[in-house]
Chains A and B, each alone.
Chain A
Amino acid sequence: MSGPFLQIEHLSYAYQINKQILNKISFDLKKGESLGILGPNGGGKSTLLKILVGLLKKQSGSIKIEGLEVDPSSANYRHYFAYLPQATEFNEILPVRVKDLLDYACLLKESATKISETLEIVGMLNKQDELISALSGGERQRVLLAKALIHGPKILVLDEPTNGLDSNGQDQLLAILNTIKKEQATAVIIVDHNINQILKHCDKILCLNNSGHWHDSKDLLTKNILESIYHCEFEHTLIHEKVGDQIDHHQCVTHGPKHNDDKEKA
């Protein structure tokens, strides 16, 4: 069994002093594996992705690719990652066609695959001459995915890619992602609020909340628990009871196996 392709160790980030948004986050990912990141708003999901793709500088911790520490903001490593941001705002006044956008994405670096081949992967080849402003939400997301894939990235980072899509559009997009994962051995990191989709399509789950602790186990993070982390963080305490001292499966950085509240009560 091969070792992890991407290793994140003790990654921390704070926008302001005393306002830690990421606190010593660790996870790893093999080639062709997918990680789903869940959590309430303000939990640090987008911040984590921005650090991974080099849009924000990490403040502590390490990012390793095949065992070597990398700085994603450096031009040498930028090609490892492809990023699909949460909200892509295009200046729609300009009549840019689907194939134009992919052409622009290759201005500094030659594409790993031809534009037509990439558009075929996402099922948009027949729309290559259409204006992006005329596309539906689902089609637009597929074009953005094609743009992210054009350089053949090793790690695909997607921030809420199914946002605003109907269930059909969500299924189509996630099916494409599964194909890319399998056929191109691309590691996929995906942030989404749809717990069902994440549980169904991702190999690993990382749950970030906004009170400083986090979990990464697909076996333990059942739908009920994930929903409770989202909504009231009540059932989340059940994990601690269930896991006991097995800290390997349930990493909790601000406290030990006991819960924060328990600690305070003690």
Chain B
Amino acid sequence: MNLISSFLLSMGDFLEYDFLFFALVGTLILSITCGLISPLIVARKFAFMGSAVSHSTLFGLSMGLIFFPWENTFAVFTTTLIITLLLVTFLAQATYRQKLPTDGLIGIFFTASMGAGILLFHLFARQRGNLMGILFGDILLLRVEDLWFSFFLLALFIPAILIPFKKWIYTSYDEEGAIISGLNVKLFHYSFYFLVTILIVSSIKIAGTVLINTLLLVPGVFGLKMAKTIPQTFVYSVLFSVIFSCLGLLLANWQGLPSGATLSVIQFLALSLLLLLGKFKKKS
């Protein structure tokens, strides 16, 4: 009883402190955006790609820090985004309708760009800031500008996913059939790479690689495992993402734990528990 009341009391902190309130709103927005795209990431087998992009941002960040001071956040992250998008274009080209497994190519891209990023940083930008700190950002350090940026991302992703929703599903479900029907499958392939890259690069400062990869994968796996229809999959994914991200943040604040890591562990535990319950329900 004491535990519950202490947990409920800790929730008041989110109204009392601005930084906690911002973190909660930021988590809410980011979890909706990620929940919306997560089933597509899992279904299109982009899990490794997401991880590769999030780590390859090191190259863009290093380049950004060579030209701009860390205080000029906008310039640093715009440089990072442009450079990562250019790198990802090559990756998208190399992986389009390839018979060879694409994970090998993605692995090469992952390690080469990350290595080059660390090297550049070491040689030219070491005095400009803590690269690892940037890469493993903290949701508790959100500012109002970051929240506006999260809103902008959500406003970009909702139409980008929902307007051509059936086309996303068709190109993910039956690529050959979509080509025969005249759909521009190549455009969807490239667009998906770009959308995922924009989301990851833009969210790294807010959430960090661990949290962003969790948010991009776990809700989608839950939705795809539990739902019986396509719309249900996406609704389940967004609901799971929102509920367990917010719960993770509340628990992190209550126990004074690192927010990103707590959110990731809570999402994983919730996924395992719900899938287990689903299995028991099926058997009975």
Contacts and interface: CB of A to CB of B under 8 A. Distances in A.
B167 A90 contact: no
B183 A94 contact: no
A90 B177 CA distance: 9
Contact of B181 (A89, A93, A108): A108
Interface residues of B, number: 26
A107 B183 contact: yes
B167 A107 contact: yes
Interface stretch (A24-32, A97-105, A206-214): A97-105
Contacts of B224: 93-95
B227 A103 contact: no
B182 A94 contact: no
A221 to B, nearest CB: 30
A109 B173 CA distance: 19
Nearest to A151: B181
Contact of B169 (A89, A104, A108): A104
A104 B175 CA distance: 12
A100 B183 contact: no
Interface residues of chain B: helix, strand, loop or mixed (majority): helix
B180 interface: yes
B173 A147 contact: no
Interface of A: 53, 55, 75, 78, 83, 85, 88-91, 93-97, 100-101, 103-105, 107-109, 131, 147
17 contacts: A55-B179, A55-B180, A75-B182, A88-B177, A91-B44, A91-B173, A91-B174, A93-B42, A94-B43, A95-B227, A95-B228, A96-B169, A101-B173, A104-B166, A104-B177, A107-B166, A107-B167
Given A53-B180, A88-B177, A109-B182, 13 more contacts: A89-B176, A93-B43, A94-B169, A94-B224, A95-B224, A95-B228, A96-B173, A97-B229, A104-B174, A107-B183, A108-B181, A108-B182, A108-B183
